[in-house]
A = this chain, B = another copy of it.
Amino acid sequence: MDITPDNEFIKNSNVPGPTKEEVRCLVMCKSQVSKADVVVDVGCGTGGLTLEFAKRAKKVYAIDKNPEALKTTFKNLQKHGLDDGVDLIEADGTEVLDNLPPFDVLMVGGSGGKMDYLLKRGYKKLKSGGRIVVTSILLETPSEATMVMKDLGMEVDVVGVSISKGKISARGTMMVARNPITIVSAKKALKN
C-alpha cells in the first residue's frame, strides 16, 4: 500500500490540493480500486488522488475545468512516471461524463455546485458493482451527496475524518490540525 508522501507533489498556488496523504489513503480504500478498474476523477485539482488511482487502476480520466489544474496534475504524474494510462480532460465534469466509456469508480473532489446532476449522471455510466466517492471540506456537500446517493437507492457510507500531524521539535511534538474532510461513498448494486 504505497502512498506518495505529501512533500513529493508539485503544488500550484492557484489550484487546491494535493489531497493529504492520509485522506488519499482512505479514499483508495473506500474506492476499492483495483487493476481492472476504469476511474473517472472529477475535479482533479493538482492530481493527488489522480496519481494514487493511476498506480492502482487500468485507466484514469482526470477532469478539471481549470487548465492550470490539469497542467499541475500532468507534472505530478510525469514526475512519478505515471502519466501513461491517464487521460486529462479540460471540462466541466457534468459535460463529459456522457462521452466517457462506462467506469468502475467515480471520484468527485469538486462538483462546481452540480453535485445532484453529476452523481445522477455518473451513476448511469457506473458499472454494476462500481463505487462513487465524494470528498469535501464544505459543510454542505456531504449532506447533499448523501441525499443524492440515498435517492439513487445506494447504501451510503459517511465518514468524518479529522487528522492532526505531529511537528517534532526540541520542545515536543506539536499536533497540527488538518482541515476536517468528509468522505461519502457508496457502491452500485451488482446485477442479479
A contact residues vs B (CB 8 Å cutoff) = 1-3, 21-22, 25-26, 28-29, 31-34, 56, 113, 137-143, 146-147, 150, 156-166, 168, 171-180, 182
4 further A-B pairs in the complex, CB-CB below 8 A; given A139-B158, A140-B147: A22-B29, A143-B143, A159-B163, A160-B180
**Given A25-B26, A28-B1, A175:B179 Cβ within 8 A:** yes
Copies in the complex: 4
B residues near A56, Cβ cutoff 8 Å: 1
**A22 smallest CB distance to B (angstroms):** 6
Whether B173 lies near A164 (C-beta < 8 A) is: no
A22 B161 Cβ-Cβ under 8 A? yes
A136 closest partner in B (C-beta): B172
B175/A137 in contact, CB under 8 A: yes
Which of B32, B137, B150, B177 interacts with A2 by CB under 8 Å? Answer: B32
Secondary structure at the A interface, as helix, strand, loop or mixed, is: mixed
Q: Is the CB of B173 within 8 A of A139?
A: yes
Please, which residues of chain B bring their CB within 8 A of the CB of A113?
A: 171
Closest to A143 in B: B140
Whole-angstrom distance between the alpha carbons of A25 and B164 in the complex? 17
A-B contact pairs, 7 of them (CB 8 A): A1-B1, A1-B33, A138-B174, A139-B174, A143-B172, A156-B166, A164-B180
- Say whether B31 contacts A1, CB under 8 Å: yes
Contact B160 A173 (CB under 8 A): no
A150 and B168 CA atoms in complex are apart in Å by 10
Contacts of A146 in B (CB 8 A): 139-140, 166, 168, 173
Give bound CA distance, A176 to B176, whole Å.
12
A8 to B114, CA, bound (A): 35
